[in-house]
A and B are shown apart, each in its own frame.
Chain A
């Protein structure tokens, strides 16, 4: 429960950063999507039900501050989470490079899904001409933010402790070497 509340608080702080701080310094296409990084991380680190519940809540939170239709980011974040979950069993979660690779894949997938949903159902035609040219910068800013967040997590590791399955962090069992 404490972990879930912490994840939600992180989501709220990320949302405040994305709506108030980033717009002061960065053009729209260079603003990182921190909630996507959080959803990918939760998808790799938490149990299925807990991560699915958190993904839905974070998606809904993002919908309050993005675009005009409620439900778009709930659907998109859930799709990203389910696909991450589908492949996570076959991946070495301790690898940081892999985590950055998943952030790249997640950004591309999210862009494609938003473009598809908006052009198919919402008749927001020119949205593809906004999304596609911005994709390389989006990937770059998400990668940079993911890397910085991972460094921050590594700094906090002595405080948080480690448990099995925390993506990007090397796990050492208590019984290691015994």
Chain B
């Protein structure tokens, strides 16, 4: 027996390694949103380094943009001043609307639909691969972040937290191929599943008979329990309806520009 083991040491070791790794991978497939001790340790250790590099990069970029690369700044300034003047004029009119809104809300005893606390976070790193779409944010367990919490920006949905370490977390973006969220076409109320495909999104399982058009707004439907209802996901970019089949193919452009993501908001659990 010992001779056999010694003679076939390397092939046996390779077989054992491959088996162990296949088991580790298949076990982890079922618990995507569980952070292992190893992942937590590495994320905790690298967070200060990533934060440091990110801040240095941001400083260098701002130095370049604010003090060195100032071509067209005067023209932009003139245009901005003009827009600013228009907006100020419009704002005066809006104030009256806000006051009226507050008065009406008080009258109706309005209760906020989703009284969630939001936690602002900085994006400190991105996915290291060319195919997956995840980001690392600078808030973690210490700030109350938990796996599964939705992440948004003012423009719309960003993704959901999948791994949490002490001071940092990883967020799976909606554009990732393994991400899917329950969506709704705002105008027609057509339901579907929004799946990522790298840079854009697809609305799958939308019934063919519903007349979805380009530029229609896609929002979260609130099904699935992760995202609250009504968050903007994107706009319909193209619709393809075949002569046969139950569903239509809908391409969606995300509302969020993921290449310029710097700050995000984590939606904490609803206030009890």
Within 8 A of A (CB), among B1-43: 10, 13-14, 17-18, 21-22, 24-29, 32, 36, 38-39, 42-43
A82 and B131 CA atoms in complex are apart in Å by 23
The complex places the Cα of A72 from the Cα of B178 at a distance, in Å, of: 14
Q: Are B128 and A130 in contact (CB under 8 A)?
A: no
- B62 interface hit (Cβ, 8 Å): no
A23 contacts across to B, CB distance below 8 A: 125-126
Tell me if A114 is interfacial: C-beta within 8 Å of chain B.
yes
A117 and B198 form a contact (CB under 8 A): no
Chain-A contact segment, one of B47-55, B221-229, B238-246: B47-55
**Are A129 and B28 in contact, CB atoms less than 8 angstroms apart?**
no
Q: How large is the interface on B (under 10, 10 to 19, 20 to 34, 35 or more residues)?
A: 35 or more
| A126 x B128 contact (CB < 8 A) | no
B22 nearest in chain A by CB position = A75
Is there an interface contact between A65 and B130, defined as CB atoms closer than 8 Å?
A: no
CB pair A48–B10 under 8 Å, yes or no, is yes
Query: B169 contacts the other chain (Cβ, under 8 Å)?
Result: no
Q: Which residues of B contact A35 (CB under 8 A)?
A: 128
Neighbouring A residues of B22 by C-beta, 8 Å: 75
B136 near A: Cβ within 8 Å? yes
Contact A61-B42, Cβ < 8 Å, known A16-B53, A70-B36, A121-B29: yes
Number of A-B contacts (CB under 8 A): 141
Q: Are A19 and B172 in contact (CB under 8 A)?
A: no
CB proximity of A72 to chain B, nearest CB, Å: 6
- Across the interface, do B29 and A66 meet the contact criterion of CB distance under 8 Å? no
Cross-chain contact A16 with B46 (CB below 8 angstroms) = yes
Contacts of A74 in B (CB 8 A): 21, 24-25
CB-CB contacts of B161-183 with A at 8 A, as 1s and 0s?
Answer: 01000000000100011100000
Does A129 contact B32, Cβ atoms closer than 8 Å? no
Q: Are B195 and A126 neighbours in the complex by a CB distance under 8 Å? A: yes
Question: In the complex where A19-B127, A20-B125, A75-B21 touch, is A130 in contact with B197 (Cβ < 8 A)?
Answer: yes
With A60-B38, A61-B42, A127-B177 given, is the CB distance from A19 to B128 under 8 Å?
Answer: yes
From B50, B134, B202, A20 is in contact (CB under 8 Å) with B50
Could you mark each residue 100-138 of chain B with 1 if its beta carbon is under 8 Å from any beta carbon of chain A, else 0?
A: 000000000000000000000000111111111110100
Please, which residue of chain A has its CB at the minimum distance from the CB of B38?
Answer: A60
Q: In the complex, what residues of B have CB within 8 A of residue A129's CB?
A: 197-198
List, in ascending order, chain B residues with CB within 8 A of A60's CB. 38
Provide a sorted-by-A list of 5 A–B residue pairs whose CB atoms are within 8 angstroms.
Answer: A20-B124, A69-B28, A70-B24, A71-B26, A126-B177
Q: Which 7 A-B pairs have the closest CB atoms?
A: A71-B25, A19-B125, A130-B198, A23-B126, A18-B128, A127-B177, A67-B132
